């Protein structure tokens, strides 16, 4: 039997992680865990956690590690029959990457690979402004907030790449081109 497929889908804001997750969920029957989606659901439900996260999110800042790690822990336990997971927007810090390894290893599992969508900053900004025009996400409407998210990605999140490179689990994917082209590149990398 094939081992569980646990994929970290990585890349800057606007890289296309959400779009490509949809294809991977269908093709590989994986459960999609997006910390951004989970946080937005908490915000919409006006839970104390959601209200606390809201201000950070709308300013482009990261939510505290223990909060997002707790959400991922709950989601892993809620889907204990899953064939595998796509982690989207998580881990975003080294501490989150280490916590994810611990959570998975307690379940006898591990990350199979990190697939990183690579897109230049100007492309990210253009895509997010376009999404902001229709999505209702306030953090996509303001170019200053978008650029701040990209800075934070470079400073706090990009080092997570190194964490998976050191384990031989990193594959970079060219994130420019049509949605179908990028889907094909991801499928090839998954094998």
Contact in structure between 127 and 134 (CB atoms under 8 Å): no
**170-174: strand order across its sheet:** 31-34, 84-88, 5-10, 113-118, 170-174
| Per-residue x/- track, 125-164, ligand ADP (CB under 6 A) | ------------------------x---------------
Name residues contacting ligand ADP, limited to 14-53 (CB under 6 A). Answer: 35-36, 39
Nearer to ligand ADP, 138 or 188 (CB): 138
Q: CA-CA distance, 85 to 4, in Å (whole number)?
A: 8
Q: Does 13 bind ligand ADP (CB under 6 A)?
A: yes
Name residues contacting ligand ADP, limited to 60-119 (CB under 6 A). Answer: 60-63, 68, 89-90, 92, 96
Binding site for ligand ADP (CB under 6 A): 13, 35-36, 39, 56-57, 60-63, 68, 89-90, 92, 96, 149
């Amino acid at each position: 039997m094939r081992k569980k497929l646990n994929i970290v889908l990585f890349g800057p804001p606007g890289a296309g992680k959400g779009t490509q997750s949809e294809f991977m969920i269908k093709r590989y029957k994986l459960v999609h865990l997006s910390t951004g989606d989970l946080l937005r659901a908490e915000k919409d439900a006006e839970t104390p956690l959601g209200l606390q996260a809201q201000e950070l999110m709308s300013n482009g800042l990261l939510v505290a590690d223990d909060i997002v790690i707790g959400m991922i822990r709950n989601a892993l336990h809620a889907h204990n029959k899953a064939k595998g997971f796509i982690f989207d927007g998580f881990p975003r810090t080294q501490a989150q990457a280490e916590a994810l390894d611990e959570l998975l290893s307690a379940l006898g599992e591990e990350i199979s690979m990190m697939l990183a969508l690579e897109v230049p900053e100007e492309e990210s900004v253009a895509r997010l402004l376009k999404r902001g025009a229709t999505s209702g996400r306030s953090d996509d409407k303001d170019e200053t907030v978008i650029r701040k998210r990209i800075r934070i990605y470079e400073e706090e999140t990009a080092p997570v790449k190194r964490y998976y490179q050191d384990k031989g689990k990193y594959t970079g994917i060219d994130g420019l081109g049509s949605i179908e082209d990028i889907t094909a590149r991801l499928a090839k990398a998954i094998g």
